Chain A
Amino acid sequence: MTCTRASDESLVDLLFEGAPGAERAHVAGCPDCASRLQALEASLIQVRSAGLPEPSPFYWATLRRNVSRRVGQVRDWHWAPLAAAAAALVVAVGVVSGSRMAPSSTEPALPAWVALPPAAEDAGLDVIGGLLSTGSGQEDLGDCNGLAPCLGSLSETETRALVEALRAELKGVDS
Chain B
Amino acid sequence: MSQELALPMLFPIAGAQAGAQEARPGRVDDFDDVRACQRGDREAFDRLVERYQRAVYRLCYRYVNRHEDANDLAQETFLKAYRAIDRFRGDSAFSTWIYRIAVNCCLNFRSARRPETTALSDSLSDASPRADAEVEREDEASRVRAAVARLPERQRATLILKVYQELTHEEVAGILGSSVGTVKANLFHALKNLRKLLESEP
Q: Which residues of A contact B (CB under 8 A)?
A: 8-9, 11-13, 16-17, 39-40, 42-56, 60, 63-64, 66-68, 70-71, 74-75
Q: Note all chain A residues with C-beta closer than 8 A to B67.
A: 53, 55
Contact B145 A74, beta carbon cutoff 8 Å: no
Contact B78 A43, beta carbon cutoff 8 Å: no
- Specify the main secondary structure of chain B where it touches its partner: helix
Closest to B169 in A: A17
In order of increasing CB-CB distance, the 7 nearest A-B pairs are A51-B13, A50-B144, A8-B188, A43-B191, A50-B141, A54-B12, A9-B184
Q: Mark B172-189, 1 if CB is under 8 A from A, else 0.
A: 000000000100110111
Closest to B186 in A: A12
Task: Please give the number of chain B residues whose Cβ is less than 8 angstroms from any Cβ of chain A in the complex.
Answer: 56
B79 → A minimal CB distance (Å):
5
Contact B185 A46, beta carbon cutoff 8 Å: no
Contact B71 A46, beta carbon cutoff 8 Å: no
- Having A47-B159, A64-B53, A74-B82, one finds 11 other A-B pairs with CB under 8 Å, namely A13-B184, A44-B163, A46-B198, A50-B148, A53-B12, A63-B49, A64-B49, A68-B46, A70-B75, A70-B79, A71-B42
Closest to B125 in A: A53
Q: Note all chain B residues with C-beta closer than 8 A to A56.
A: 123-124
Closest to B191 in A: A43
Contact A39 B82, beta carbon cutoff 8 Å: no
Q: Note all chain A residues with C-beta closer than 8 A to B189.
A: 8
Within B1-59, the residues touching A (CB, 8 Å) are: 1, 3-4, 7, 11-16, 42, 45-46, 49-50, 53-54, 57-58
**CA of A39 to CA of B191, assembled, Å:** 9
Q: Note all chain B residues with C-beta closer than 8 A to A52.
A: 13-14, 58, 61-62, 145
Within B141-166, the residues touching A (CB, 8 Å) are: 141-142, 144-145, 148, 159, 162-163
Closest to B83 in A: A74
B120 on the A face (CB < 8 A): yes
Q: Note all chain B residues with C-beta closer than 8 A to A17.
A: 168-169
**CA of A175 to CA of B119, assembled, Å:** 107
Contact B13 A54, beta carbon cutoff 8 Å: yes
**CA of A60 to CA of B74, assembled, Å:** 11
Of A8, A16, A47, the contact of B185 (CB 8 Å cutoff): A8
B136 on the A face (CB < 8 A): no
Of B16, B42, B78, B142, the contact of A48 (CB 8 Å cutoff): B16
18 pairs of residues in contact across A and B, judged by CB atoms under 8 Å: A8-B188, A12-B187, A13-B184, A39-B195, A43-B195, A46-B194, A47-B144, A49-B140, A51-B4, A51-B13, A52-B58, A53-B124, A60-B50, A64-B53, A68-B42, A70-B79, A71-B79, A75-B42
Q: Note all chain A residues with C-beta closer than 8 A to B198.
A: 43, 46
**CA of A116 to CA of B169, assembled, Å:** 82
